[in-house]
Amino acid sequence: MAVTLLAVLHAIPDADDPHAIVAKLMDAVPPGSYLAVTHSGSDLFVQKDSFSNAINQTMRQQYTPRRREQVERFFAGLDLADPGLVPVEEWRPEPAPDATRQSAIWGAVGRKRSGNGTAPAV
Q: Are strands 105-112 and 78-80 parallel, antiparallel or unpaired?
A: antiparallel
pLDDT exceeds cutoff 70 at 118? no
pLDDT exceeds cutoff 90 at 71? yes
Q: What are the structural domain ranges in the chain? A: 2-112
Q: What is the pLDDT of residue 103?
A: 80
Please give the average per-residue pLDDT across 97-122, as a whole number. Answer: 75
Q: How far apart are the first and last CA of the chain?
A: 12
Q: Could you tell me the fold of the domain covering 2-112?
A: Rossmann fold (3.40.50)
